[in-house]
Amino acid sequence: MKVIICGAGQVGWQIARHLSGERNDVTVVDSNADLVRRATDTLDVQGVAGFASYPDVLDRAGARDAEMIIAATHSDEVNMVTCQVAHSVFGINRKIARLRSQSYLDAIYADLYRRDHLPIDVVISPEKEVAAAALQRLSAPAAFDTETFMDGQAHLLGIKIGPGCPVINTALHQLTVGDQN
């Protein structure tokens, strides 16, 4: 899949590392040429130095053939305009924007991100993600990892048990659920 990642800072670099590791065709765009160089020198990605919201920069990045754009610059407004240009000029199907300002994330404005308004398919808020992860961690403080599935109906907990723990070598069907109150 051809993906353009706008923003080569910490977030953009990590996304580029992950997606290029999965053998996607990744191009990184950033106004800071040094950050672009760092990405192209250390990852299997292409790079374009320039402002992500400029149509000519996105064109140089291969937007005509891109299937997805991820706008993760430090500016919410640049990320939103980048998605709009990707949609209106290049017809990119999947548009993801990192938005940090709570003003843009308020539920009463969720209608703003429709295709006929500001076409962003997925809004990512690092602050909300960190808060959700912290709350999940607090719900099971003894666990080293937690995951939730089936809309919160199933939880998987990673718990380290010592060698003397009585559940070691016990078949799952023999385990019972304690008091859930």
Distance of CA 166 to CAs 142, 169, 174, Å? 17, 8, 12
> Contact, 46 vs 28, CB < 8 A?
yes
- Cα distance between residue 13 and residue 54, in whole Å: 20
**In the predicted model, is pLDDT for residue 81 greater than 90?**
yes
Q: Which range among 35-39, 86-90, 123-127 shows the weakest confidence by mean pLDDT?
A: 123-127
Helix then strand count (H, E) for the chain reads 6, 8
**In the predicted model, is pLDDT for residue 150 greater than 60?**
yes
Q: Where are the chain's structural domains?
A: 2-128
pLDDT of residue 14: 94
Q: Quick one: pLDDT band at residue 121, thresholds 50, 70, 90?
A: confident
**In the predicted model, is pLDDT for residue 125 greater than 80?**
no
Q: 2-128 has which fold?
A: Rossmann fold (3.40.50)
